[in-house]
Amino acid sequence: MPNPIDSEQVLQMSRGFWTSRLILTAAELDLFDRLPASAEEVADGAGWDTGALTVLLDALTALQLIEKQDEIYSVAPSIAPGLGKDPDASVLPMIGHYNSLWDKWSQLSHIIRNGREQVQFVFNRDETALQAFIGGMHVVGRETACKIISDLKPAWAGRLLDVGGASGTYALEFLKQVPGLSVTLFDLPGVIPMAEARIARAGAADRVRFVPGDFYHDTLPGGHDLVWLSAIIHQNSREQNRELFRKAHAALVPGGRIWIRDHIMDAARVHPSAGAVFAVNMLVATPGGSTYTFDEVVSDLASSGFTTPRMIRDGGQMDAVLEAVRP
């Protein structure tokens, strides 16, 4: 049993936003890319307040994100690739995504009082921002992808449909670990070129078919024996998921399987804890998204024609996988 939470821990959690705001602001101001330099040099070049910037830089130094030597600040070497501009290493696009959620989370009290039906959800990410976000998702997700596919390794699969496959993070892992597998990657037209480029660099383009489309509005390409839904169902309402499951069912051959990677909650909706908190993120950021219990996902799969549901991988960080079968 974990130790009981005390008042000091509650206070620590309550001021947790102090640390996150430091990092979000530094990323928003493109501060890490302006280093190494003194506070005066950065402030003069950007037209900022030197005193305020010095306070921020010193706080980031205390967090060990920045080093300070003779009044010159530089990014700590251990984290420099993650805070740099290399799209294959940088987590800055994901930090930018978290920054975009700041105002949404600030509406939580209003949503609790009035319901999210009273909130206008605006999705205005332009193509450049979308590509940066998806690139960031690849950086933070590739290690998890390697672990999951290594655990599951569907040697029986011949044709996989990766729905919402983004830049090909999971598609590439499937291809690496399952010889003879071919993949259909389905995603928005603005995303497909990213996937084509990444998979071409990996030398796997001859094993992948790229299909542009929107799974909310379009049918899914058929003839597959495995459908992969990765980190998708949490952004949807249950009604949207049932419709997506029906499309996935139609995309499978008889005997084919659907694998769903997401937070799969217990009946009490408090475990995994990361999933319980993520449900709040969906509450403030989407019109109908949430995290769902095993029974809820199974019920929605059954209504779409799937049978034999089971957990094939447990995980507490959106790395659980649920399987069901098209009879």
Catalytic center residues: 234
Q: Which residues does 4 contact at the CB level (< 8 Å), separation at least 6?
A: none
- Map residue 293 onto helix, strand or coil: strand
CB pairs under 8 A, 24+ apart, for 78-85? Answer: 82/139, 83/27, 83/32, 84/32, 84/33, 85/33
Helix axes 127-152, 92-100, angle to 10 degrees: 110
Spatial contact of 293 and 265, defined as CB atoms under 8 Å apart: yes
Which token pair is 316? 């507490």
Sign of CA dihedral 113, 114, 117, 118: negative
Interatomic CA distance for residues 161 and 100, integer angstroms = 31
Interatomic CA distance for residues 277 and 268, integer angstroms = 13
Interatomic CA distance for residues 299 and 124, integer angstroms = 33
